[in-house]
Structure 1
């Protein structure tokens, strides 16, 4: 059994026995590997974001939260390759989340699907993002929490201004990512290119909801629509 298959099997073994913990020794015997190998695999799962936990002491061991993990998902080789390419292109602002998502997908796949995803992944390269990690994190958090974000923003000529923005969503266009929101300074909808945001500070202040399409109306991005890959297979 190769390591990718074993990582997937470890998660499924813990899911099947949850909430009862499994010891490292029992897992090592189950997969016919050393306890050191199991410890290393469990640590790798933790670092990739899989919700595995250890409880010390008598009766303790390793567990996984079944509510926080995906059941087995079966992809075709083409679907797995498409996911690998999409996650590689995710970039700003979700580069960190895309990386852990890719690791989880690889851990959940076997056979041709895993081989296709890994085979394509080693042939994809990207230039480093110019957006600071702190800015990406602040934008992600403001969008998820629906809170006002205070920005220091450089325009095309390099002039920096301070803005308070009520975030509405993200736009990707021609290789760039934009935060779309209501700018309190300009009292209008605006797009802020993420690699021009020099500082982003969460305020914690709840932001009023805004319709993304309405904010884009009348702009060069008025015709923007949901990417096909994110549209439902049926329905509107």
Structure 2
């Protein structure tokens, strides 16, 4: 008996939050054959979203490239904090080189052009912030439950959903 035909409902576009979640789960898989196949699948899924502008092309390249090993380790901690809904402690170097330690209620991750960001509620600033992965110098898991936040409200400069 052959493989059953799966009837698919009409395709609805992935949300930016769904894309970010998929990409994050792939980004820290490393560079083994499994990861390569998964990234190829993600790239294939994007081709059907008809995203043609150069911002999107750059973003897609970033999404489907493996993260450097040290950033991948921090990404794993971040992904785990999002999944387990726990506050994550970041040691963060801002654009001017100042280092702060911040407790963040992690909401989602996103990619914009060539950078990955953790988006969340920064308890130090009491506001929504996007933290660039390459400026996060260390991550620590905590056992503090994060307050719930909706990802859709936390994607300030993410592109519109694909039509």
Give the shorter-chain TM-score range: 0.5 to 0.7
CA distance in 1, matches of 2:154, 2:39: 35
Q: Which residues of structure 1 form unaligned runs of 5+?
A: 1-70, 75-89, 107-123, 232-236
CA distance in 1, matches of 2:39, 2:26: 20
3-state SS of the aligned residue for 2:29?
A: helix
Query: Could you tell me whether the CA contact under 8 Å between 2:82 and 2:107 is conserved in 1?
Result: yes
CA distance in 2, matches of 1:146, 1:156: 28
- 1:93 deviates by 7.0
Higher helix fraction (1 or 2): 1
Instruction: Please list, as runs of the form range in 1=range in 2, the aligned pairs for 1:90-129 lying within 5 A after superposition.
Output: 90=23, 94-96=27-29, 99=32, 100-102=34-36, 129=68
Choose the corresponding residue for 1:194, options 133, 138, 143: 133
Query: 1 or 2 for the larger relative contact order (CA 8 Å, sep ≥6)?
Result: 2
Query: Could you tell me whether the CA contact under 8 Å between 2:108 and 2:120 is conserved in 1?
Result: yes
- 1:176 deviates by 0.7
**Equivalent residue pairs, number:** 123
Distance 1:132 1:102, change over 3 A: closer
Higher strand fraction (1 or 2): 2
TM-score (norm 2): 0.59
3-state SS of the aligned residue for 1:161?
A: strand
3-state SS of the aligned residue for 1:186?
A: coil
Q: Which residues of structure 2 form unaligned runs of 5+?
A: 7-22, 41-60
TM-score (norm 1): 0.43
CA distance in 1, matches of 2:123, 2:129: 10
Instruction: Please list, as runs of the form range in 1=range in 2, the aligned pairs for 1:110-189 lying within 5 A after superposition.
Output: 129=68, 131-189=70-128
Q: Which structure has the bigger radius of gyration?
A: 1
Task: State whether structure 2 residue 142 is matched by structure 1 residue 203.
Answer: yes
Aligned-residue Cα RMSD (Å) equals 3.8
- 1:169 deviates by 0.5
CA distance in 1, matches of 2:99, 2:146: 23
Segments of 4+ moved more than 4 angstroms: 71-74, 90-93, 103-106
